[in-house]
């Protein structure tokens, strides 16, 4: 007669735990099957029948039961971590790879500025033996990539930063922020400009140059978007017609932009912009200009022109060296590049000049007053009032 199958006796609480596992949808399938094996065997189901139900071998069922009897549910349901192969790439070898990846390829005799995974992999394999790491002679590209990823090293990418090269950077930045604080105090709670009665009006203009604007012509007509092709199609061939320089200022009280376009980039061009500002504002008002340290802003020719104007007519506030990002017109130039200059094509430099002036006319129809917020909480109202229009440098003094 056939032997009566014996059942598996589960430990206290294991039956409920296994029932809970088989109802979960996010757990691994093999864990669910092993839980079913233990439950079925607990209910007296023969080993061969269990194997047929789950399409596994009887030995797999027996191994699961044996693991439970020896070590409980954790041993039966989950595989233990295997020891694996011994580490072949030592920490010193990894450090050498990282050191190579952090070096400039050009300094190691290559033409490129940045590493590619292919070039880095080849360099490591070529120089591994002489560096004392023969194992790396057969290292794979995926392993090199893994080592770089684990150390968060990305030698194929560039991120730009702005170095503070001016020893007086903080104090000069404070002077610029002080100006922006004073500008904000020229508006009332409703955002309306306050016109002084017994003292001159202070007009603050953020100025800068955008040289080298290329006049580029197409050699074939653009194809406008159609139903079948939603993009503008353009012949890749183009013709260079020369460059123009743009000098511009943004009135921080009104948001209006004042341009001057030239074929050169000299002190005389900056003086022309100053003349436009001088004609724009009423006599007796103060024109305060925020600009960078370009030589044209401090040249002898510029100083000679300023000497012809009434004392105190022009007041200059210079941003720190390598700190032109503090100048608010940089935001305007960025906006202009995205809206108007990106992808522009013209038939002549004259057309480019005309379209630049046209862009400024369009902007001035609905001017936007620029507001500065970075570190403004560090400037107190009392300090701004006491400072008045004092600046870090006055060109015409």
pLDDT digits (tens, 9 = 90+) for 198-223: 889 999 999 999 999 999 999 888 88
Residue 395: the pLDDT is 45
The mean per-residue pLDDT over the stretch 109-118 comes to 94
Asked if 47 and 62 touch (Cβ cutoff 8 Å), the reply is: yes
Give this prediction's pTM: 0.69
> Above 60 in pLDDT, residue 31?
yes
Highest mean pLDDT among 34-43, 54-63, 213-222, 269-278: 269-278
Two structure tokens written together for 10: 């589960």
Asked if 125 and 138 touch (Cβ cutoff 8 Å), the reply is: yes
Residue 137: the pLDDT is 92
What does the alpha-carbon distance between residue 392 and residue 146 come to, in Å, rounded to a whole number?
52
CA dist list (Å): 246 to 102, 114, 368: 40, 34, 20
What does the alpha-carbon distance between residue 364 and residue 139 come to, in Å, rounded to a whole number?
62
Task: Give the count of beta carbons closer than 10 Å to the beta carbon of residue 42.
Answer: 17
Helix (H) or strand (E) holding 291: strand 286-291
> Above 60 in pLDDT, residue 285?
yes
Angle of CA points 395, 396, 397, to nearest 5°? 95
Tell me the per-residue pLDDT of 306-346, one tens digit each, with 9 for 90 and over.
Answer: 999 999 999 999 999 888 889 999 999 999 999 999 999 99
Helix (H) or strand (E) holding 300: helix 300-307
């Amino acid at each position: 007669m056939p032997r009566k199958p014996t059942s598996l006796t589960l430990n206290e609480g294991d039956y409920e735990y296994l029932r809970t596992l088989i109802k979960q949808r996010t757990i691994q399938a093999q864990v669910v099957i092993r839980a079913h094996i233990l439950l079925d065997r607990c209910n007296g189901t023969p080993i061969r029948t269990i194997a047929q139900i789950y399409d596994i071998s009887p030995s797999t069922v027996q191994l699961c039961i044996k693991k439970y009897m020896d070590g409980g549910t954790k041993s039966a349901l989950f595989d233990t971590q295997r020891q694996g192969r011994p580490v072949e790439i030592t920490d010193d070898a990894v450090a050498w790879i990282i050191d190579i990846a952090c070096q400039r390829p050009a300094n190691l005799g290559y033409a490129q500025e940045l590493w590619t995974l292919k070039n880095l992999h080849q360099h490591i394999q070529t120089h591994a033996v002489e560096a004392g790491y023969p194992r790396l002679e057969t290292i794979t590209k995926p392993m090199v990539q893994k080592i770089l990823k684990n150390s968060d090293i990305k030698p194929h990418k560039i991120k730009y930063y702005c170095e503070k090269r001016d020893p007086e950077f903080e104090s000069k930045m404070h002077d610029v922020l002080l100006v922006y604080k004073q500008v904000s105090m020229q508006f009332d709670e409703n955002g309306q400009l306050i016109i002084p009665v017994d003292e001159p009006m202070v007009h603050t203009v953020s100025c800068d140059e955008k040289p080298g604007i290329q006049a580029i012509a197409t050699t074939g007509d653009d194809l406008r978007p159609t139903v079948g092709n939603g993009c503008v199609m353009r012949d890749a061939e183009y013709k260079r017609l020369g460059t123009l320089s743009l000098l511009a200022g943004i009135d921080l009280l009104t948001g209006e932009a004042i341009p001057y376009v030239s074929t050169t980039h000299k002190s005389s061009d900056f003086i022309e912009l100053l003349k436009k500002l001088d004609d724009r504002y009423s006599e007796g008002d103060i024109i305060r200009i925020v600009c960078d340290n370009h030589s044209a802003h401090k040249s002898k020719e510029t100083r000679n022109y300023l000497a012809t104007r009434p004392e105190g007519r022009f007041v200059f506030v210079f941003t720190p060296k390598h700190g032109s990002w503090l100048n608010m017109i940089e935001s305007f130039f960025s906006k202009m590049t995205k809206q108007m200059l990106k992808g522009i094509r013209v038939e002549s430099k004259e057309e480019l000049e005309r379209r630049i002036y046209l862009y400024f006319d369009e902007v001035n129809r609905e001017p936007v007053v620029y507001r500065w917020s970075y570190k403004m909480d560090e400037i107190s109202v009392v300090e701004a009032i006491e400072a008045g229009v004092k600046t870090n440098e006055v060109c015409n003094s």
